[in-house]
Chains A and B, each alone.
Chain A
Amino acid sequence: MRQLKAFVARLRGLLHSEPLEADFAAELESHVAMHTEDNIRAGLRPAEARRQALIQLGGVEKTRQLHRDRRTFPWVESIMQDVRFGCRMLLRNRAYTAVAVLTLAIGIGVSATAFTWIHAVLLQPLGGVADPNRLVTLESVTPSGGLVPTSYPDYVDFRDHLKLLDGVAVTRPAAFSVGNQDHAERVWGELVSGNFFAVLGVTPALGRVFLPTEYGDAPGSFPVVVISDRYWRSHFAADPNIAGKTIRINQHQLTIVGVAPPAFHGSMPVTAFDLWIPYMQQPLLNGVNVRMLRDRHNRNMLGFARLKPGVTSNQALDELRALAAQMSVANADVSEGMSATLMPLWKSPHGPQGLLIGPLRILSGVCILVLLIVCANVANLQLARATVREKEFSARLALGAGRMRIARQVLTESLMLTFAGALLGVAATPWMSSALRYLMPPGPMVQLVAMDTRPNLAVLGFTVGLCVFAALAAGLAPALQVGRLNLASRMNDGGRSGAAGRRNRLRSILVGSEVALALVALVGAGLFTRAFQTTMRIDPGFDPNHVLLGQFYLNTSGYNLQQREDFCRRLAEKMQAAPGVTDVAYSDGVPLGFEPSWWEELKIEGYAPRPNENMNIFRNVISPGYLPLMHIPVVEGRNFTEQDDESDKAPFVMIVNQAFVRHFFPDRDPIGQKVHGWGVEFRIVGVAKDSKYHYLSDSNLPYFYVPFRQIYRTDMALAFYVRSQDSPADVLTTLRTQTHDLDPNVTVFDAVPLKEFIGASLYPQKVAASLMAVLGSIAVLLAAVGLYSVMAYWVAQRTQEIGVRMALGAQPGHVLRMVVRQGLSLAVGGILAGGLLAFALSRLAASVSFTNSAMGAGSKLMGDGGGEPLIFVAAAVFLCALAAIAAWLPARRAASIDPMQALRTE
């Protein structure tokens, strides 16, 4: 207690240093005066009286120092001294300070931003939920080990039978059209099981969340909705009496029962939803057939669960696996070989984090590279400065300063530099953080990405850690150098030779590492760009030019299936008649969209699947005009016609691709073969040429098409294609007016040229390439500046030696060659080391795959780096040239001056 009081008093002493100092000076003065007076009274002469008084006091300065030490904290005082002195030194060399601070700001800013993202996506628990650490994702597992969503009936089994979980809930992100017909607005929300909020542990900010009576599985009986705090404020002006009011969603009235707390944005990281509606309203809201809700095949729900207190995730997993094994036997027709698993929320491949993990890994790698180059640069700058300041340091040493104290001074200065850099860098992070959305593939999910960009402790701690790391990395070498200063020789020869040998070795290492890091950056940028270009050149197998793609959400306009089919036919007829339009078609899935396409489990007559063979084949549901519009040739048999319809006379037909034929009918004529799917029998009527379906890197993927009029189901999407003679943008207006003529309630939401849309499939490579291009060029630029300055400095230091050589008769040409040769040999060492590092890293990067959100399947970001020797050679040659120039320019200057002058330079 007393200690604390004293501590506070000393802290106060720190702040009011000057008045307290003056106060004590006055006290001492009065002390000496009184003592002197007494001494005079005792008979001493005034001068002697004062002298004796001072002797007995033990010296005024010493006493003041003792007093000061007790008044404040001596170590704080000396640090403040260091800081003050450091400030003066840094301000005196503005150019040096500016370069160092800016360099550090780039390095630290970039790294802090990357960490903010990683923190938000992977580390930060869901906001607004109780005990988020006990929440886990529940995923269904296919026989081949892929992670897929869960069907509602499977969920009901999990919910009713698992004892070690404090509830299992499911959710499905969905877009709703909210408001009255004419000005409907698209709002994203989640269709959730009734116990959604209970499992998450969310307490409403207003009203209530779903009641246990609303947890049931009766379709259409819960017309209620919970809205987000954000939506409540933006659309209802934070109306405190909102509970009980109605809201029009997909042309149905729902009652708002409550408002979620401000911190809660839904069940996915970095994603903000605004509406939560019981999944059982799906038949009403989206016109989905009730049968679909009961279909175990319909795996469309994302599951999560809460572990009971005291239950480990392994125990819960064992229980879940046992149950899933029973279910896979009981429902063998749809779930044979299926299992289920639990994993941390952030590991789920569904949702934005699944898409972001790959880019974030690359990003963090690149950031480390940039930070290292920055540290090397600043270390160089500091080392150069330390050499210049050797005389100052020697003088301080000679006056009795401790080596530790001077080393500390150097470290203090580098800490000040890094903190100044960090301040600048962190000031930019909120702005850079919002750029996270550019890492997301284009598509509806982008609008949902919401980052909590408020600075938080973890990010702050990370940044401080970075600062200290950077300060040590950049300041340790110069600080150690001080420890080795040879006092006598320094003072005597005025800084001519001394520790030059050792310093040169240190500098050689720095030059080498600069070159190595620059090489890694160059090679990385080269490899990613090359991978991107390679993918760009792949022929997708269809012609996306001059095609406009429009996506409709007819189910949100209250259409039933029949109405949707009619709408498509009539819109197609109208568009076909429009000027400039050559083809019109529509389908369920869009090729090369980032949105995954769906599959159907097929049974092929005459083909015996291998054990565990995945018979889920990807498919598209198309109108007869689709293949001609896409310029996908039918190589055998015929295309679909308008006669392939739902009437009883028309048999179900199917067109398969060449890969399908190669795989399932290697030595049979595919035309006329029977295939079973959707519970009916199809006949193959044609074979279409292979094209790309999901990624440009697809190869040999069996695929099939079925006619829109025969197979179109309520849960399918609707994409509309218009091919025109001119630019697709011109047709957009026509498409909008025609749609409006047909039904003013329908809005064309996403209409883009197909060419642009399929860019999404290039997205992973594009992100990697553009990130590497931006950060890589920063890195190369920094490394080039660093390399040049180190080289130039290294040569400049040898001016005197060059002078001696010239005075002894060396030719300028000789001297030049010698310096350049030595500079190059340094660079070559760095290139060798960097080459090895880059090779190893490219192997690592090649293994980073990109998750496809629906299938859990991976797509590689780039090819094997080892296969691109040209990039390595080009990078090495570029850096050698740079090193040669960096050595040659200052060497030429050194060689051109008069030898006598060179000798006198110091």
Chain B
Amino acid sequence: MGDKTDVWQGTLALMVLRTLEAMGPQHGYGLARRIEQTSGDLLQLNYGTLYPALLKLEQEGYISSSWGTSENNRKAKFYELTKAGRRQLKKTAAEWNQTTAILARFLTPAEEA
């Protein structure tokens, strides 16, 4: 791992859900670009790894997909949050917030000491 961190599966799923919530329906390429941008280019995403993650989310019923036309009039597959996906996003986001908050408490005093 370097400055530009590889993305691991669990967090990638959360990022995808969050991005889809923010952007609305989006194709895989758009999602990959957006995730990279949002991370302030700190994340070096191998775009290929996004697709198995999307497939997993789809199999679990958190997102749905359908073919549509991109802004440049290209055929592309668009992903969209489902109801279950929104619920899942809320849940995991809350969990993450809690986890990071707890970890922050541990780490802050340690640095001071």
Contact = CB atoms under 8 A, between A and B. Distances in A.
Interface of A: 2-3, 5-6, 9-10, 23-24, 26-28, 30-31, 33-35, 37-38, 56-59, 62-63, 66-67, 69-71
B11 interface: no
Contacts of A10: 59
Given A2-B60, A6-B60, A31-B28, A37 B47 contact: no
A57 B48 contact: yes
B52 A70 contact: yes
Contact of A2 (B28, B29, B61): B61
B92 to A, nearest CB: 12
A interface, by DSSP: helix, strand, loop or mixed? helix
A58 B76 contact: no
A62 B55 CA distance: 15
A31 B47 contact: yes
Contact of A66 (B49, B60, B74): B49
Given A26-B75, A31-B27, A71-B55, 20 more contacts: A3-B60, A27-B76, A30-B27, A30-B29, A30-B74, A30-B75, A31-B76, A33-B74, A34-B30, A34-B70, A34-B76, A35-B47, A56-B47, A58-B47, A58-B48, A58-B49, A59-B48, A67-B52, A69-B52, A70-B55
Contact of A27 (B28, B33, B46, B59): B28
Interface string B66-104: 000010101111000000000000000000000000000
Given A34-B70, A34-B74, A34-B76, A67 B28 contact: no
B61 A66 contact: no
Contacts of B70: 30, 34
Contacts of B55: 67, 70-71
Contacts of A27: 28, 51, 76-77
A15 to B, nearest CB: 14
Contacts of A63: 48-49, 51
A24 B51 contact: yes
Contacts of B61: 2, 5
Contacts of B30: 34
27 contacts: A2-B60, A5-B60, A9-B58, A9-B59, A23-B77, A26-B77, A27-B77, A30-B27, A30-B29, A30-B74, A30-B76, A30-B77, A31-B29, A33-B74, A34-B29, A34-B30, A34-B70, A34-B76, A58-B48, A58-B49, A63-B48, A63-B49, A63-B51, A66-B49, A66-B51, A67-B51, A69-B52
A3 B59 CA distance: 9
Contacts of A31: 27-29, 47, 76
B39 to A, nearest CB: 15
Nearest to B53: A70
A31 B74 CA distance: 10
CB-CB nearest 3 A-B residue pairs: A63-B48, A58-B48, A9-B59
B48 A62 contact: yes
Nearest to A70: B52
Contacts of B60: 2-3, 5-6
A62 B52 CA distance: 11
B56 A70 contact: yes
Contacts of A35: 29, 47
B interface, by DSSP: helix, strand, loop or mixed? helix
A26 B29 CA distance: 13
Contact of B52 (A9, A37, A66): A66
Contacts of B27: 30-31, 34
A205 B48 CA distance: 66
A66 B48 contact: yes
Nearest to A41: B72
B46 A57 contact: yes
Interface of B: 27-30, 33, 46-49, 51-52, 55-56, 58-61, 70, 72, 74-77
A2 B72 CA distance: 35
Contact of B47 (A24, A57, A67): A57
A6 B58 CA distance: 8
Nearest to B61: A5
A3 B33 CA distance: 29
Contacts of B46: 56-58
Contacts of B28: 27, 31
B57 to A, nearest CB: 9
A58 B28 CA distance: 14
Nearest to B65: A27
A76 to B, nearest CB: 15
B59 A37 contact: no
Contacts of B72: 34, 37
Contacts of A62: 48
A111 to B, nearest CB: 43
A96 B18 CA distance: 60
A5 B61 CA distance: 8
Contacts of B51: 24, 27-28, 63, 66-67
A156 to B, nearest CB: 70
Contacts of A33: 74
Contacts of B48: 57-59, 62-63, 66
A70 B13 CA distance: 14
A29 to B, nearest CB: 9
A9 to B, nearest CB: 4
Contacts of B56: 6, 70
A17 to B, nearest CB: 14
A2 B61 CA distance: 8
A713 B89 CA distance: 93
Q: Which of B28, B30, B52, B59 has the most CB of A within 10 A?
A: B59
Nearest to B44: A56
Contacts of B52: 66-67, 69-70
Nearest to A30: B76
Contacts of A67: 51-52, 55
A888 to B, nearest CB: 64
A35 B76 CA distance: 12
A62 B29 CA distance: 17
A63 B55 CA distance: 12
A34 B32 CA distance: 12
Contacts of A70: 52, 55-56, 59
A59 B48 CA distance: 7
A57 B47 CA distance: 4
Nearest to B46: A58
A37 B76 CA distance: 14
A70 B59 CA distance: 9
A2 B82 CA distance: 14
A32 to B, nearest CB: 8
A63 B47 CA distance: 9
Contacts of A9: 58-59
Q: Which of A2, A34, A58 has the most CB of B within 10 A?
A: A34
A71 to B, nearest CB: 6
A846 B30 CA distance: 83
A10 B46 CA distance: 24
A67 B58 CA distance: 12
Nearest to B75: A30
A806 B58 CA distance: 73
Contacts of A30: 27, 29, 70, 74-77
Contacts of A69: 52
A6 B63 CA distance: 12
Nearest to B56: A70
Nearest to B51: A67
Contacts of B47: 31, 35, 56-58
A71 B76 CA distance: 19
A6 B29 contact: no
A57 B49 CA distance: 8
A897 to B, nearest CB: 60
Nearest to A28: B51
A347 B14 CA distance: 66
B76 A5 contact: no
Contacts of A2: 60-61
A478 to B, nearest CB: 37
A751 B74 CA distance: 93
Contacts of A28: 51
Contacts of A6: 56, 59-60
